[in-house]
Structure 1
Amino acid sequence: MNVFYEEAGTFKVGAILADNNTSLQIEAVHGKRSKIKASAVLFRFDTPPLAEFMGHVQKIAEELDPNFLWECCAQEIEFASDALATDYFGHTPNPVEAAATLLLLQNAPMYFYKKGHGRYKAAPPDALKAALAGQERKRLLAEQQARYVEQLNQFILPEEFKPSLSQLLYKPDKNSTEWKALEIVCTEKKLSAVKLMEKCGAIPSSHDYHFNQFIWEFFPEGTGFGELESQPAVENIVDLPHADAAAFSIDDASTTEIDDAFSVTPLSFGSFRIGIHIAAPALGIPPESALDQLAATRLSTVYLPGNKITMLPDGVITRFTLAEQAICPVVSLYLEVSDDYTVTGIESRIELIKITANLRHNELEQHFNDDALSKGHLQHALSKELTFLWNFACKLEKLRGKSNDTNNDKIDYSFEINDEHVSIIERRRGSPIDKVVSELMIYVNTEWGRQLTDAGITGIFRSQMNGKVKMSTSPAPHQGLGVSQYAWSSSPMRRYVDLINQRQLIALLRNEPPPYSRDSNNLLIAMRDFETAYGIYGEFQRSMERYWCLRWLLQEKIQTINAQVIKENLVKLDHIPLVTRVASLPEIAPGAYVKLRLSEIDLLERTFHAEFLQKQDS
């Protein structure tokens, strides 16, 4: 005697070896013996032979039509499988027919719901319709996925991928048919998804891939300004006095947001009046205006080699930038300075000033440099003003206790991109240009921070204690700069924090209530969000500088290069701001130079391989 039984949702057959009423000892076709519960048995049979039984069952089950059986069933009531088999076959079913019916019911869960041991219920018509539609969708998706896989294997990008290309590259839905097809081919080809997409022509530009990834994540609405693109700022410069000085700016050649300028006016007895003039967009951007809300969203201009994403629209920048020959609204800090460069008087004003010149680093440095200053032979139309500012900056640096700052030995790098050709220019930090600009900016940010503090007006301060930098509404020392408080105020067109501080300062100078109180939500939110955004933007700039360094290595066909050991196996390559780890580097003291072989430069991953060749003589 044999049994047809159910175990763990599967139908099985076996020969009875022993019947113990509540349980049976059985032997399967392949000889395995096991013990089953008597309640698991659906029926017993003698023929056909055990080894042939399931073959006959499968053959008949394949002939059964689940849709026809469903139509034959009484709706909304349970039924026994043998009753359905009797109705279908027109007679009491034999063991093979009974088993085939059970197998069909078990394998058609959309049509029949299992309700118990050998008992089922027909699915409601609406539920069946929905289930069949879902099954058809799955079938079509499977066909679509197979077609995608076939095309991707030939490195052909399916047309359906193109509308959602950015999402596939930067934030894929891993349950989508497109991604599943990509995963299958990536596994077969042993490629990353990005590399596969590149081979399919989906990434024509490695630069655009990285840039667009940043835009996708942090500027989902795009980098444009919409209807604010051409909307002028609301000017508030009525009755502003005109300065009796003329100013000049000092910036990189690519700078369009010129925030700061300087003036030097001789006074009696060898003294001078120095003016530090900061562009005043706060006069044209009211708090909580549409333009202000946009700036509060961006929080800062984003910089990267050869490009930038400005915080403010071009129209606003054009109106407030300190452009040559323009008369511009500014907030000015005037310093009366004696002949020994001691500050004897300070005054802040809101005014209009004429900008006589926009000096650019690349041209100015040819005249205003250490060699010219040491020889006392500075040939420039503003030589007297520049020399005076240089001497004053040296005095300020000394007063801060930073005149022997080792940072002045470091190198800064600037990138110039022209038609995909990259030039990386080294500049020693602490050059006369750098010192003049940085010292005067430190002074103005420190002084205006002090004025806000003394007046009891809230500002956003940047402090540094024990190497940790943080922003706060409370003034605190900045140890790195050697000042008692520091409030960013000198770049209001490029940093939202500076714009906020400028509004507070203007209110102080006009003797008006400040726009922000200490517990202002807008101020606290802006401070918190600015720190986050500033970190993200800075990391993006560094990652794109790394990208262009790798482009430079390829462009110059550099295969070997010298590098300086920083620590352990970390080195910095010569002539470019590129740091990497060299696994093969032996134990060499920091500061030593080594020669490396470069290979496997990957612009998409922004990686390369560096191999130690030899130690170089110092």
Structure 2
Amino acid sequence: MFVLFEEAGKYLGGRVLSEAEASAQVELETGKRVKVKGANIVLRFEKPSPAELIAEARALAAAMDLDLAWEFAADGEFGFADLAADYFSDKPSLAQQAAALFALFEAPHYFRRAGKGRFKKAPAEIVQQALAAIEKKKAVQAQIVEWAGQLAEGVCPAPVREQLYRILFKPDKNAPEYKAVVEASRASQRAPLELLERAGAIDSPYQFHWRRFLFENFPKGTGFPALTAPAIADELPLAEGVEAFSIDDSQTTEIDDALSVQGLGSGTVTVGIHIAAPGLALAPGSAIDQVARARMSTVYMPGYKITMLPDAVVDTYTLLEGADRPAVSLYARFDEATLELQSTETKLERVPIAANLRHDQLDSVVTQPWLEDSSITHEDTPAAAARFRPQLSFLHRLARQLKAQREVVRGKPENFNRPDYNFRLVGNDGAEPTGAEQVQITTRQRGAPLDLIVSEAMILANSSWGGWLGELGVPGLYRSQASLAPGIKVRMGTRALPHAGLGVKSYAWSTSPLRRYTDLVNQWQIIAAARHGKTAALAAPFKPKDADLFSILSGFDAAYAAYNGYQGGMERFWTLKYLEQQGITELEATVIKDLPNGALVRADALPLVFPVAGQQERGARLRVKLGEIDEIALDVSGTVLERLDAPAAGAVDDAEDEEEVVAGPIAIAVDLADGDAAPDAGAAVENAPA
């Protein structure tokens, strides 16, 4: 005897070997033996064979008119044999009964199960809705097939183009556009990114990186709502005897900090570090604060930036020359001869800004010899540099002393043997780049006098204010590093802890409130400390263990990492573009790291790290031939042509907190398998002005 039975949502047939009261041993055609519950057996028969019966029944079921079957079916509960009798004949054959069973079982939009082999008609309105959904699904599937075919032929359908970045990086795996890309990738055996690039979905490599960044970080665009900068309500006193000057690049509009020097020749010199004070006008939770908190930082990239605050707000508080500007000032008094720090004081005041000095105009003039020897003159010395030469000379002497003191604490000197690279897009003038601009790359040696003056002044302010907040029990947002041991990175927290990398007892970013939200938060806390002294913890906007403060810290960390990653990627993009524009095919480079199948090298004269084939000695200088440049993957590799020297011990510079990153293939979320794809994932120099 044979039986037809249900097993795990399927109907199978087999020969009965033995049978008990509630179950039977059944042998399938494959030879496998299974135990079947009696309740799961729906048909018993002597012939034909189960395979023949199922094949014939499947063919009959496929030809059944389900609309007609639904009309014939009884209104109440019924069995499959009842439907077979109504649909086929009064005495349906075994195959017809099985066909009715299969048709009922596989049409849940028409019939609902009511038990083993028992069914009920679905309501008419449900049937219509289900049929409409089925037709829609068929249409969507047909659209997927059409789009996949177009993609495979090198044509990108408009809906796929519109969803490009969502498909690649944050896909809805049920969306037809995503499914079309997956299907076309499988059919053409091309990676999704390659497929889309060949189909013309990507306008240009630059636009690809830019649009992706906006999609992931500014999905609502980079525009600002209409906001008016509030006036500072306080009647601030005017700083007496102060002539402050800032030191920035010419492109800088968010001038956060300025310096002043008083008392030269008196034995006690007072250095003023004056920080723009939006915190005196903006309140936590205000409309402008919400905008700043959503962005967390200004985003920098070659030739362009996305500011944290609207231009009108920045213009209200920036330390522009020729006016008295509100500032939070740290006054540090030093013995003029020994440069010993005697005291510090914080004031809320209006500061006269006498000049905005610019690195790119002065770095070639304001050199160490020029600062140390007043007899050295230059015919083309700008008037502002000549005016503040005594102050700059003292600040440079002080900066060298402060740096030396920090190096004693940190246990080793800071290395400035690699330059900073500046990118200029010719003719861009601050507009959004197109990616086709001519790029110029120039260098500024890290630790140059003006750079050193600014960085040491900012470290002094950030460490002094950080320590002061800690003494008063006022929480802030701190940067700390437990030690310089390998793997110990800079972390953010709300407690005043040592920063081993800088050699200071505490370090709270406070000197860039126009472009970094952490600094604005810390400025609110510093203002409370300046106004209330020992009771500042009670009056400060953020209290100890404030959950909102931890939320800001977490949000800033994530945003700042994303922005720095994009800036690094765009600097790499323009460096690769520079190689192409200049026709550079060979570079001199230094080996900085071993790789499993080669080495990582750093170009000697460009901001470029890339792999080369073959094992090389760390520190070796090489001449390298460059391979093909991929501007979308930001990828280039090299082949060693010759060894240029025998490396001396310690030839490789100490990277300290910096991490070498080599761009590789773009990580995308299009998953050609069935598993979930993970989204693709440095330590900043603390005192470097942006």
Q: Which of the five TM-score ranges fits, normalised by the shorter chain?
A: 0.7 to 0.9
For residues 555-579 of structure 1, give each alpha carbon's deviation from its aligned partner in whole angstroms, at most 9, with x where no partner exists: 2233222211113222212222222
The answer to whether the aligner puts 1:461 opposite 2:478 as a matched pair is yes
Tell me if structure 2 keeps the 8 A contact 1:367–1:378.
Answer: no
| Superposition deviation, residue 259 in structure 1 | 0.9
Give the match's secondary structure for 1:363. Answer: helix
Tell me if structure 2 keeps the 8 A contact 1:341–1:392.
Answer: no
Stretch moving more, 508-517 or 255-264: 508-517
The answer to whether the aligner puts 1:197 opposite 2:196 as a matched pair is yes
| Superposition deviation, residue 217 in structure 1 | 2.2
| Superposition deviation, residue 100 in structure 1 | 4.4
The answer to whether the aligner puts 1:563 opposite 2:589 as a matched pair is yes
Tell me if structure 2 keeps the 8 A contact 1:335–1:345.
Answer: yes
The answer to whether the aligner puts 1:383 opposite 2:389 as a matched pair is yes
Judged with a 3 Å threshold, the aligned counterparts in structure 2 of structure 1 residues 150 and 338 are, in CA distance, closer, same or farther, namely: same
What letter corresponds to residue 605 of structure 2 in structure 1? H
User: Which residue does 1:543 correspond to in 2?
Assistant: 569
Give the match's secondary structure for 1:187. Answer: helix
Q: Distance in 1 between matches of 2:243 and 2:270?
A: 12
Q: Distance in 2 between matches of 1:33 and 1:296?
A: 69
What letter corresponds to residue 409 of structure 1 in structure 2? N
For residues 327-375 of structure 1, give each alpha carbon's deviation from its aligned partner in whole angstroms, at most 9, with x where no partner exists: 2111223344444252445443222222222111111012112353466
Q: Distance in 2 between matches of 1:33 and 1:345?
A: 94
| Superposition deviation, residue 157 in structure 1 | 2.1
The answer to whether the aligner puts 1:396 opposite 2:402 as a matched pair is yes
Tell me if structure 2 keeps the 8 A contact 1:368–1:378.
Answer: no
- The equivalent position to 1:482 in structure 2, one of 503, 506, 522, is 503
User: Which residue does 2:521 correspond to in 1?
Assistant: 500
User: Which residue does 2:456 correspond to in 1?
Assistant: 439
Judged with a 3 Å threshold, the aligned counterparts in structure 2 of structure 1 residues 79 and 257 are, in CA distance, closer, same or farther, namely: same
The answer for unaligned runs of 5 or more in structure 1 is none
- The equivalent position to 1:319 in structure 2, one of 316, 322, 331, is 316
| Superposition deviation, residue 72 in structure 1 | 0.9
What TM-score, normalized by structure 2, do the two folds share?
0.79
Judged with a 3 Å threshold, the aligned counterparts in structure 2 of structure 1 residues 27 and 359 are, in CA distance, closer, same or farther, namely: closer
The answer to whether the aligner puts 1:329 opposite 2:337 as a matched pair is no
Q: Distance in 2 between matches of 1:531 and 1:56?
A: 66
What letter corresponds to residue 74 of structure 1 in structure 2? A
Higher relative contact order (CA closer than 8 Å, sequence separation 6+): 2
Tell me if structure 1 keeps the 8 A contact 2:628–2:637.
Answer: yes
User: Which residue does 2:654 correspond to in 1?
Assistant: none
Tell me if structure 1 keeps the 8 A contact 2:27–2:33.
Answer: yes
Give the match's secondary structure for 2:355. Answer: strand
For residues 129-157 of structure 1, give each alpha carbon's deviation from its aligned partner in whole angstroms, at most 9, with x where no partner exists: 33322221221111111211222122222
- The equivalent position to 2:361 in structure 1, one of 360, 363, 366, is 363
Q: Distance in 2 between matches of 1:554 and 1:153?
A: 30
Tell me if structure 2 keeps the 8 A contact 1:276–1:333.
Answer: yes
The answer to whether the aligner puts 1:600 opposite 2:628 as a matched pair is yes
For residues 496-546 of structure 1, give each alpha carbon's deviation from its aligned partner in whole angstroms, at most 9, with x where no partner exists: 222222223223333374333323333343234333333333233222222
Q: Distance in 1 between matches of 2:517 and 2:51?
A: 82
| Superposition deviation, residue 440 in structure 1 | 1.4
What letter corresponds to residue 42 of structure 1 in structure 2? L
User: Which residue does 1:215 correspond to in 2?
Assistant: 214
The answer to whether the aligner puts 1:517 opposite 2:515 as a matched pair is no
- The equivalent position to 2:556 in structure 1, one of 527, 530, 536, is 530
Q: Distance in 1 between matches of 2:472 and 2:51?
A: 99
User: Which residue does 2:64 correspond to in 1?
Assistant: 64
Give the match's secondary structure for 1:523. Answer: helix
For residues 67-106 of structure 1, give each alpha carbon's deviation from its aligned partner in whole angstroms, at most 9, with x where no partner exists: 112211111221341x333333444234554454445445
What letter corresponds to residue 585 of structure 1 in structure 2? G
The answer for unaligned runs of 5 or more in structure 2 is 429-436, 534-538, 647-690
User: Which residue does 1:348 correspond to in 2?
Assistant: 346
Tell me if structure 1 keeps the 8 A contact 2:591–2:616.
Answer: no
User: Which residue does 1:188 correspond to in 2?
Assistant: 187
User: Which residue does 2:439 correspond to in 1?
Assistant: 422
The answer to whether the aligner puts 1:240 opposite 2:237 as a matched pair is yes
What letter corresponds to residue 222 of structure 1 in structure 2? G
Tell me if structure 2 keeps the 8 A contact 1:350–1:506.
Answer: yes
Q: Distance in 1 between matches of 2:452 and 2:11?
A: 86
Judged with a 3 Å threshold, the aligned counterparts in structure 2 of structure 1 residues 186 and 499 are, in CA distance, closer, same or farther, namely: same
Q: Distance in 2 between matches of 1:484 and 1:296?
A: 28
Q: Distance in 2 between matches of 1:38 and 1:548?
A: 71
Give the match's secondary structure for 2:329. Answer: strand
Q: Distance in 2 between matches of 1:443 and 1:60?
A: 88
User: Which residue does 1:405 correspond to in 2?
Assistant: 413
Stretch moving more, 156-165 or 109-118: 109-118
Stretch moving more, 435-444 or 156-165: 156-165
User: Which residue does 2:151 correspond to in 1?
Assistant: 152
Tell me if structure 2 keeps the 8 A contact 1:5–1:43.
Answer: yes
Q: Distance in 2 between matches of 1:276 and 1:252?
A: 18
Judged with a 3 Å threshold, the aligned counterparts in structure 2 of structure 1 residues 321 and 73 are, in CA distance, closer, same or farther, namely: same
Give the match's secondary structure for 1:293. Answer: helix
The answer to whether the aligner puts 1:79 opposite 2:79 as a matched pair is yes
Q: Distance in 2 between matches of 1:500 and 1:41?
A: 73
Q: Distance in 2 between matches of 1:566 and 1:59?
A: 70
What letter corresponds to residue 586 of structure 1 in structure 2? Q
Judged with a 3 Å threshold, the aligned counterparts in structure 2 of structure 1 residues 572 and 553 are, in CA distance, closer, same or farther, namely: same
User: Which residue does 2:614 correspond to in 1?
Assistant: 585
Tell me if structure 1 keeps the 8 A contact 2:80–2:97.
Answer: no
Q: Distance in 2 between matches of 1:124 and 1:290?
A: 54
Judged with a 3 Å threshold, the aligned counterparts in structure 2 of structure 1 residues 318 and 79 are, in CA distance, closer, same or farther, namely: same
The answer to whether the aligner puts 1:258 opposite 2:255 as a matched pair is yes
Q: Distance in 1 between matches of 2:494 and 2:140?
A: 57
Q: Distance in 1 between matches of 2:28 and 2:139?
A: 43
Tell me if structure 1 keeps the 8 A contact 2:4–2:50.
Answer: no
Judged with a 3 Å threshold, the aligned counterparts in structure 2 of structure 1 residues 156 and 265 are, in CA distance, closer, same or farther, namely: same
The answer to whether the aligner puts 1:611 opposite 2:628 as a matched pair is no
User: Which residue does 1:176 correspond to in 2?
Assistant: 175
User: Which residue does 2:283 correspond to in 1?
Assistant: 286
Q: Distance in 2 between matches of 1:27 and 1:286?
A: 77
Judged with a 3 Å threshold, the aligned counterparts in structure 2 of structure 1 residues 67 and 553 are, in CA distance, closer, same or farther, namely: same
What letter corresponds to residue 425 of structure 2 in structure 1? I
User: Which residue does 2:680 correspond to in 1?
Assistant: none
What letter corresponds to residue 635 of structure 2 in structure 1? T
Give the match's secondary structure for 2:242. Answer: strand
Q: Percent identity?
A: 37
What TM-score, normalized by structure 1, do the two folds share?
0.87
| Superposition deviation, residue 286 in structure 1 | 1.9
| Superposition deviation, residue 290 in structure 1 | 1.9
Q: Distance in 1 between matches of 2:147 and 2:564?
A: 39
